[in-house]
Structure 1
Amino acid sequence: MTRISRILPALFVLACAPALAVADETIPTITLTDGVVSPQQIDLPADTAVTLTVSNTGKTAAEFESKRLRIEKIIAPGQTETIELRALPAGSYPFVEEFHEDQDTAKGTIVVK
């Protein structure tokens, strides 16, 4: 076995390490279930773009809406959508499951620190 053939597998593992680290990170998820938002608060880092997952586990359609973020997304029952959030400054960004917005359980906040 040549020296190069022994080094190549190690180099491959090192080259893949950043990709493996990214795959292990968890994507923040909000679940909407017939007027119940869970969790009602998500903390995100400031000045960092984030992908947010919103799942509707309820029996009826749901609408994720944040007027401050200018986002409206209707999600069918049993479906999951991703929302790309731009890098946000520190602050609170309220959201609601609009089809049930009269319920306290349908409201939440994204807190950026």
Structure 2
Amino acid sequence: MHRRFAIFAFSLLLCLPAAAHADNAGSYVLTLKDGKFSPPNLTLPANRKVKLTVKNESAMPAEFESSDLDREQVVAAHDSITVYLGPLDAGVYGYFNDFDRKVSGKIEVK
């Protein structure tokens, strides 16, 4: 019984660093502040699922929208949302604030 538990515990320890690395490697942040997205152009890896956090640091709500990515989600003022993307093919995907369409950016997938 103790031997099975020891093998199980050791197996879990081996998996922890890989899981932590995968989570960090696949997380990206877009920030809306002062009427613009930062960074305006974001590069993501092709053929991988990623976690994109969109932070709205402005006093007005925004709507993160991308017909290229088939995403549309409201971000309240001083709040954030999480959007999971992919796996995506290589290419350029546009996005914008639907409440102020001149506020836009691009995601380049390589």
| Both proteins in one fold, TM over 0.5 | yes
In 2: Cα distance, 1:19 partner to 1:37 partner: 30
C-alpha distance 80-17 of structure 1, shift in aligned 2 (>3 A): same
Contact kept? 1:50, 1:87, Cα under 8 Å: yes
- Structure 1 unmatched runs, 5+: 1-6
**Residue 4 of structure 1 corresponds to which residue in structure 2?**
none
C-alpha distance 16-101 of structure 1, shift in aligned 2 (>3 A): same
**Residue 69 of structure 1 corresponds to which residue in structure 2?**
69
Contact kept? 2:26, 2:49, Cα under 8 Å: no
C-alpha distance 14-63 of structure 1, shift in aligned 2 (>3 A): same
- Structure 2 unmatched runs, 5+: 1-6
Identity of aligned residues (%): 35
Q: CA deviation at 1:12?
A: 5.5
Amino acid in structure 1 at the alignment position of 2:60:
T
Report how many aligned residue pairs link the two structures: 109
Amino acid in structure 2 at the alignment position of 1:75:
V
Amino acid in structure 2 at the alignment position of 1:111:
E
